[in-house]
Amino acid sequence: MSARYEELKALKNLGQKYAYSDREVMLYAYGIGLGADPMDEKELAFVNEGTLTPRPLKVVPTFASVAAWGSGPGEMNLNRVMVVDGERDITFHQPLPVAAHITADSSVIEVYDKGKDKGVVIAHQTVLKNEKGEKLATLVASRFARGDGGFGGPNLTQPDPHKIPPRAPDKTIDIVTRPDQALVYRLCGDRNPLHSDPEFAKKAGFPRPILHGMCTYGITCRGVLQTYADYDASAFRQHVARFSSPVYPGETVTMDLWKDGNTISFEAKVKARGVTVIKNGKAVLG
Protein backbone atom coordinates (compact mmCIF):
# COMPACT_ATOMS: atom_id res chain seq x y z
CA MET A 1 0.00 0.00 0.00
CA SER A 2 1.20 3.51 -0.81
CA ALA A 3 2.90 5.29 2.10
CA ARG A 4 1.20 8.54 1.07
CA TYR A 5 -2.20 6.84 1.13
CA GLU A 6 -1.54 5.44 4.60
CA GLU A 7 -0.33 8.83 5.80
CA LEU A 8 -3.55 10.55 4.69
CA LYS A 9 -5.84 7.79 5.97
CA ALA A 10 -4.21 7.97 9.43
CA LEU A 11 -4.91 11.69 9.93
CA LYS A 12 -7.03 12.29 13.02
CA ASN A 13 -7.54 15.19 15.40
CA LEU A 14 -9.81 14.63 18.40
CA GLY A 15 -11.13 16.94 21.10
CA GLN A 16 -10.63 20.27 19.32
CA LYS A 17 -12.29 22.93 21.48
CA TYR A 18 -14.47 25.76 20.17
CA ALA A 19 -17.07 28.17 21.45
CA TYR A 20 -19.61 30.44 19.80
CA SER A 21 -22.32 32.88 20.88
CA ASP A 22 -25.50 34.35 19.43
CA ARG A 23 -23.31 36.91 17.63
CA GLU A 24 -21.79 34.24 15.40
CA VAL A 25 -25.20 32.62 14.88
CA MET A 26 -26.74 35.91 13.68
CA LEU A 27 -23.70 36.82 11.57
CA TYR A 28 -23.91 33.50 9.71
CA ALA A 29 -27.64 33.92 9.06
CA TYR A 30 -27.06 37.44 7.74
CA GLY A 31 -24.07 36.19 5.72
CA ILE A 32 -26.29 33.79 3.74
CA GLY A 33 -28.85 36.55 3.15
CA LEU A 34 -31.48 36.10 5.85
CA GLY A 35 -32.92 39.38 7.09
CA ALA A 36 -32.69 41.22 3.78
CA ASP A 37 -36.26 42.34 4.40
CA PRO A 38 -36.17 43.95 7.89
CA MET A 39 -39.95 43.47 8.24
CA ASP A 40 -39.99 39.73 7.50
CA GLU A 41 -40.70 38.23 10.94
CA LYS A 42 -39.87 34.67 9.85
CA GLU A 43 -36.37 35.66 8.72
CA LEU A 44 -35.82 38.10 11.58
CA ALA A 45 -36.08 35.15 13.96
CA PHE A 46 -32.60 34.09 12.71
CA VAL A 47 -30.93 37.51 12.92
CA ASN A 48 -32.67 39.33 15.80
CA GLU A 49 -33.50 38.15 19.30
CA GLY A 50 -36.48 40.48 19.79
CA THR A 51 -36.75 43.23 22.41
CA LEU A 52 -40.26 44.43 23.32
CA THR A 53 -41.58 40.98 22.52
CA PRO A 54 -38.68 38.58 23.22
CA ARG A 55 -38.48 35.48 21.06
CA PRO A 56 -35.95 32.65 21.00
CA LEU A 57 -33.27 33.15 18.37
CA LYS A 58 -33.24 30.41 15.72
CA VAL A 59 -30.05 28.81 14.40
CA VAL A 60 -29.72 28.03 10.69
CA PRO A 61 -28.88 24.29 10.53
CA THR A 62 -25.88 24.81 8.23
CA PHE A 63 -24.32 27.11 10.83
CA ALA A 64 -22.72 23.78 11.79
CA SER A 65 -20.35 24.35 8.86
CA VAL A 66 -18.71 27.33 10.60
CA ALA A 67 -19.36 26.56 14.30
CA ALA A 68 -15.91 24.97 14.56
CA TRP A 69 -14.20 26.86 11.75
CA GLY A 70 -10.61 25.70 11.29
CA SER A 71 -11.13 22.20 12.66
CA GLY A 72 -9.84 19.29 10.61
CA PRO A 73 -7.95 16.01 10.73
CA GLY A 74 -4.53 17.62 10.33
CA GLU A 75 -2.07 18.92 7.75
CA MET A 76 -2.48 17.09 4.43
CA ASN A 77 0.48 18.75 2.66
CA LEU A 78 -1.46 19.40 -0.55
CA ASN A 79 -0.83 21.85 -3.37
CA ARG A 80 -3.33 24.38 -2.01
CA VAL A 81 -3.51 26.40 -5.21
CA MET A 82 -5.03 23.32 -6.87
CA VAL A 83 -7.46 22.36 -4.09
CA VAL A 84 -11.21 22.92 -4.45
CA ASP A 85 -14.19 22.02 -2.26
CA GLY A 86 -16.14 19.23 -3.93
CA GLU A 87 -19.05 18.31 -1.70
CA ARG A 88 -20.54 18.88 1.73
CA ASP A 89 -22.85 16.51 3.62
CA ILE A 90 -24.07 17.47 7.09
CA THR A 91 -26.17 15.18 9.29
CA PHE A 92 -27.96 16.98 12.13
CA HIS A 93 -28.34 14.90 15.29
CA GLN A 94 -30.13 17.64 17.25
CA PRO A 95 -30.83 21.37 16.84
CA LEU A 96 -27.79 23.56 17.42
CA PRO A 97 -27.95 25.73 20.56
CA VAL A 98 -27.79 29.52 20.24
CA ALA A 99 -24.49 29.56 22.18
CA ALA A 100 -22.24 26.68 23.17
CA HIS A 101 -18.84 25.29 24.04
CA ILE A 102 -18.27 22.38 21.66
CA THR A 103 -15.63 19.85 20.68
CA ALA A 104 -14.78 18.69 17.18
CA ASP A 105 -13.42 15.21 16.35
CA SER A 106 -11.98 15.08 12.82
CA SER A 107 -10.66 12.14 10.78
CA VAL A 108 -10.07 11.12 7.18
CA ILE A 109 -12.70 8.68 5.90
CA GLU A 110 -11.23 7.69 2.54
CA VAL A 111 -8.75 8.74 -0.14
CA TYR A 112 -9.63 8.31 -3.83
CA ASP A 113 -6.48 8.52 -5.96
CA LYS A 114 -7.60 9.23 -9.54
CA GLY A 115 -4.10 8.84 -10.97
CA LYS A 116 -1.25 11.03 -12.15
CA ASP A 117 -2.43 14.41 -13.50
CA LYS A 118 -6.00 13.53 -12.45
CA GLY A 119 -5.85 14.49 -8.79
CA VAL A 120 -7.07 12.93 -5.58
CA VAL A 121 -10.32 13.25 -3.62
CA ILE A 122 -10.01 13.19 0.17
CA ALA A 123 -13.18 12.63 2.19
CA HIS A 124 -12.98 13.62 5.84
CA GLN A 125 -15.49 14.05 8.62
CA THR A 126 -15.86 16.24 11.68
CA VAL A 127 -18.23 15.32 14.50
CA LEU A 128 -19.39 18.25 16.64
CA LYS A 129 -20.32 17.45 20.25
CA ASN A 130 -21.74 19.49 23.10
CA GLU A 131 -20.28 19.69 26.62
CA LYS A 132 -22.09 16.48 27.58
CA GLY A 133 -20.39 14.62 24.73
CA GLU A 134 -23.64 14.33 22.77
CA LYS A 135 -23.42 14.58 18.99
CA LEU A 136 -24.75 17.80 17.46
CA ALA A 137 -23.78 17.33 13.82
CA THR A 138 -21.56 15.21 11.59
CA LEU A 139 -19.92 17.06 8.70
CA VAL A 140 -18.48 15.16 5.75
CA ALA A 141 -16.40 17.13 3.26
CA SER A 142 -14.84 16.03 -0.02
CA ARG A 143 -11.70 17.90 -1.00
CA PHE A 144 -10.49 17.61 -4.61
CA ALA A 145 -6.73 18.14 -4.82
CA ARG A 146 -6.10 18.44 -8.56
CA GLY A 147 -2.32 18.48 -8.22
CA ASP A 148 -1.74 15.56 -5.86
CA GLY A 149 -2.86 12.33 -7.53
CA GLY A 150 -0.82 9.39 -8.76
CA PHE A 151 0.85 8.28 -5.52
CA GLY A 152 -0.33 4.70 -5.81
CA GLY A 153 -3.45 4.61 -3.67
CA PRO A 154 -5.99 1.81 -4.07
CA ASN A 155 -8.36 1.93 -7.03
CA LEU A 156 -11.53 2.95 -5.22
CA THR A 157 -14.76 4.34 -6.64
CA GLN A 158 -16.52 7.23 -4.97
CA PRO A 159 -20.14 6.68 -3.89
CA ASP A 160 -22.74 7.75 -6.45
CA PRO A 161 -24.25 11.18 -5.78
CA HIS A 162 -27.91 11.74 -4.97
CA LYS A 163 -30.03 11.52 -8.13
CA ILE A 164 -32.34 14.37 -9.01
CA PRO A 165 -35.86 13.27 -10.04
CA PRO A 166 -36.38 13.26 -13.82
CA ARG A 167 -39.66 15.21 -13.62
CA ALA A 168 -40.08 18.98 -13.74
CA PRO A 169 -39.32 20.76 -10.44
CA ASP A 170 -42.14 21.00 -7.90
CA LYS A 171 -40.98 24.52 -6.95
CA THR A 172 -38.56 27.08 -8.36
CA ILE A 173 -37.40 30.10 -6.36
CA ASP A 174 -34.99 32.96 -6.96
CA ILE A 175 -32.62 34.11 -4.22
CA VAL A 176 -30.79 37.38 -4.83
CA THR A 177 -27.26 37.71 -3.43
CA ARG A 178 -25.82 41.08 -2.43
CA PRO A 179 -22.75 42.57 -4.17
CA ASP A 180 -21.01 42.70 -0.75
CA GLN A 181 -22.15 39.27 0.43
CA ALA A 182 -18.72 37.61 0.30
CA LEU A 183 -17.29 40.43 2.43
CA VAL A 184 -19.86 39.64 5.12
CA TYR A 185 -19.69 35.85 4.86
CA ARG A 186 -15.87 35.82 5.17
CA LEU A 187 -16.28 37.13 8.73
CA CYS A 188 -17.70 33.68 9.60
CA GLY A 189 -14.18 32.29 9.25
CA ASP A 190 -13.10 31.79 5.63
CA ARG A 191 -10.68 34.64 4.89
CA ASN A 192 -9.52 33.23 1.54
CA PRO A 193 -8.64 36.36 -0.52
CA LEU A 194 -10.26 34.76 -3.57
CA HIS A 195 -13.54 36.03 -2.12
CA SER A 196 -12.48 39.55 -1.19
CA ASP A 197 -9.38 40.74 -3.06
CA PRO A 198 -9.94 41.72 -6.74
CA GLU A 199 -6.22 41.47 -7.54
CA PHE A 200 -5.95 37.98 -6.05
CA ALA A 201 -9.12 36.85 -7.85
CA LYS A 202 -7.72 37.99 -11.22
CA LYS A 203 -4.47 36.10 -10.62
CA ALA A 204 -6.56 33.02 -9.87
CA GLY A 205 -8.32 33.39 -13.24
CA PHE A 206 -11.54 35.11 -12.19
CA PRO A 207 -12.66 38.58 -13.34
CA ARG A 208 -13.65 39.49 -9.77
CA PRO A 209 -13.96 37.85 -6.33
CA ILE A 210 -16.33 34.89 -6.17
CA LEU A 211 -18.80 33.93 -3.47
CA HIS A 212 -17.72 31.19 -1.06
CA GLY A 213 -19.01 27.79 -2.08
CA MET A 214 -20.09 27.25 1.51
CA CYS A 215 -22.10 30.49 1.37
CA THR A 216 -23.92 29.08 -1.66
CA TYR A 217 -24.41 25.88 0.33
CA GLY A 218 -26.00 27.92 3.13
CA ILE A 219 -28.19 29.72 0.59
CA THR A 220 -29.58 26.35 -0.54
CA CYS A 221 -30.40 25.54 3.09
CA ARG A 222 -32.18 28.88 3.27
CA GLY A 223 -34.13 27.91 0.14
CA VAL A 224 -35.37 24.69 1.75
CA LEU A 225 -36.11 26.55 4.99
CA GLN A 226 -38.43 29.02 3.26
CA THR A 227 -40.22 26.49 1.06
CA TYR A 228 -40.72 23.05 2.58
CA ALA A 229 -39.52 23.55 6.18
CA ASP A 230 -41.62 26.65 7.04
CA TYR A 231 -38.51 28.17 8.68
CA ASP A 232 -38.36 25.32 11.22
CA ALA A 233 -34.62 24.75 11.74
CA SER A 234 -35.30 21.70 13.92
CA ALA A 235 -36.87 19.89 10.95
CA PHE A 236 -33.51 19.31 9.21
CA ARG A 237 -31.93 15.87 9.43
CA GLN A 238 -29.42 16.17 6.56
CA HIS A 239 -28.26 18.66 3.93
CA VAL A 240 -26.05 17.55 1.02
CA ALA A 241 -24.74 19.42 -2.02
CA ARG A 242 -22.05 19.19 -4.70
CA PHE A 243 -20.30 22.34 -5.90
CA SER A 244 -20.10 22.67 -9.67
CA SER A 245 -19.46 26.35 -10.47
CA PRO A 246 -18.93 29.57 -8.50
CA VAL A 247 -21.45 32.35 -7.89
CA TYR A 248 -20.42 36.00 -8.21
CA PRO A 249 -21.76 38.25 -5.43
CA GLY A 250 -24.77 40.17 -6.69
CA GLU A 251 -26.05 37.37 -8.91
CA THR A 252 -29.44 35.73 -8.58
CA VAL A 253 -29.39 32.06 -7.61
CA THR A 254 -32.32 30.05 -8.97
CA MET A 255 -33.17 26.90 -7.02
CA ASP A 256 -35.20 24.04 -8.46
CA LEU A 257 -36.72 21.81 -5.76
CA TRP A 258 -38.43 18.41 -5.80
CA LYS A 259 -40.32 16.96 -2.83
CA ASP A 260 -40.64 13.21 -2.29
CA GLY A 261 -41.89 12.51 1.22
CA ASN A 262 -39.33 13.90 3.66
CA THR A 263 -36.62 14.16 0.97
CA ILE A 264 -36.15 17.46 -0.83
CA SER A 265 -33.95 17.25 -3.91
CA PHE A 266 -32.50 20.47 -5.30
CA GLU A 267 -30.17 22.04 -7.82
CA ALA A 268 -29.16 25.67 -8.21
CA LYS A 269 -28.12 27.74 -11.19
CA VAL A 270 -27.30 31.27 -12.27
CA LYS A 271 -29.55 31.81 -15.27
CA ALA A 272 -27.79 35.00 -16.34
CA ARG A 273 -24.65 33.00 -17.17
CA GLY A 274 -26.34 29.70 -17.97
CA VAL A 275 -24.37 27.75 -15.33
CA THR A 276 -25.35 25.21 -12.69
CA VAL A 277 -23.66 26.06 -9.39
CA ILE A 278 -25.02 23.28 -7.13
CA LYS A 279 -25.75 19.70 -8.24
CA ASN A 280 -27.17 16.53 -6.63
CA GLY A 281 -28.60 18.44 -3.67
CA LYS A 282 -30.61 16.66 -0.99
CA ALA A 283 -32.21 17.82 2.24
CA VAL A 284 -33.93 15.35 4.56
CA LEU A 285 -36.61 16.72 6.85
CA GLY A 286 -38.27 15.00 9.76
Which residue numbers are catalytic? 190, 195
Amino acid at site 28 = Y
Q: How many CA atoms lie within 13 Å of 78's alpha carbon, on the beta-carbon side? A: 23
CA separation (Å) from 138 to 67, 92, 238?
12, 7, 9
Cα 102 to its chain centre, rounded Å, is: 19
CB 84 within 8 A of CB 144: yes
CB 175 within 8 A of CB 43: no
* Residues 166, 78: Cα–Cα separation, whole Å: 38
